[in-house]
Amino acid sequence: MKKLFLLTFFFTLFTPVWADMMPLPKAEFILIYNTEKKPLLDPLHSEQIQCEDGLCLEQKPLVPYGSQKLVCGGGTCSATAYRFAPYQKLVLTFTDGSVRESAPFAMPNNFDTRFTVYVENNRLTVEQTDYTKGFFEAIRCDMWGALIITLLLELLAAFAYLIYTQKSFVILYSVAVANLVTSLIMWTVLTRFITGLFLLWAFCFLVEALCIWAMNRKQLSLKQALQLSCVMNVTGYSLGMIFSFVFA
């Protein structure tokens, strides 16, 4: 058992275990043209600028790596980041060769934020749109990929744990149920109130441990359920982060 904890500790030291498989902040930009011509976006030469102050004295582009990226097309842009800076700027290039830039605008500390971008003749005007997503709207496309990868990796980690501790493989059913429950609650409910990724990860760890223990009291002690949940979550999110960087 000590070897399992040493492996878990190793992962926590050298990888940000909650970085990729947890919900990441997302911003959507919907373009409205106030111009006679409506040129298409050039996504390869458009970028989102990160600023730590309202004047954007120090500017850094949103560099694409892993799940972090800016994607534009069809009159909209969508940005996902591990962390958005407090202020942003949009620099959009269009297929007619024109480039338009926005003034710095504040980025709320939300899980999902939507902006309206007014395309003027020589500039962009960005305004935040106030809206509340319904339950089904809150289920983002990236949730399903994260759910499937995390579930498979955590089942494999639990399988290894059960072999090591010589426990019944029937416990895997409770592992799957606990993972599905925590993922749905986290993505559709908790992200409305909690933006800290570590807090979301801690929620999954504790709730999954309690679910597994409650469904297998005759076979697992609470301590063993906590150990199993720790191994599952750290292994799942660490390897999931690696997969995200490879395939994103």
The pLDDT of residue 16 is 40
- Whole-angstrom distance between the N-terminal and C-terminal Cα of the chain? 34
- Identify each DSSP E strand in 18-136 by its residue range: 26-33, 47-51, 59-61, 69-73, 76-80, 87-93, 99-101, 105-106, 112-119, 124-129
Sheet holding 124-129, edge to edge: 69-73, 76-80, 26-33, 112-119, 124-129
The pLDDT of residue 242 is 60
Domain with CATH 2.60.40 in the chain: 26-129
The pLDDT of residue 11 is 44
* pLDDT less than 70: residues of the chain: 1-22, 131-145, 191, 194-197, 236-248
How far is Cα 232 from Cα 49, in angstroms, rounded to an integer? 37
Asked whether the beta carbons of 38 and 93 are under 8 A apart, the reply is no
How far is Cα 64 from Cα 70, in angstroms, rounded to an integer? 7
**93-143 pLDDT, tens digit each:** 999 999 999 999 999 887 788 999 999 999 999 999 876 555 555 555 666
The pLDDT of residue 246 is 53
Select 26-129's CATH number: 1.10.1740, 3.40.50, 2.30.30, 2.60.40.
Answer: 2.60.40
The pLDDT of residue 13 is 41
Report, in angstroms and rounded to the nearest whole number, the Rg of the chain calculated over CA atoms.
21
The pLDDT of residue 138 is 52
The pLDDT of residue 131 is 66
- Beta-ladder partners of 124: 102, 119
3-state secondary structure of 113: strand
pTM for the model stands at 0.63
Collect all residues with Cβ–Cβ distance below 8 Å to 161 and sequence separation of at least 6: 4, 167, 227, 228, 231, 232
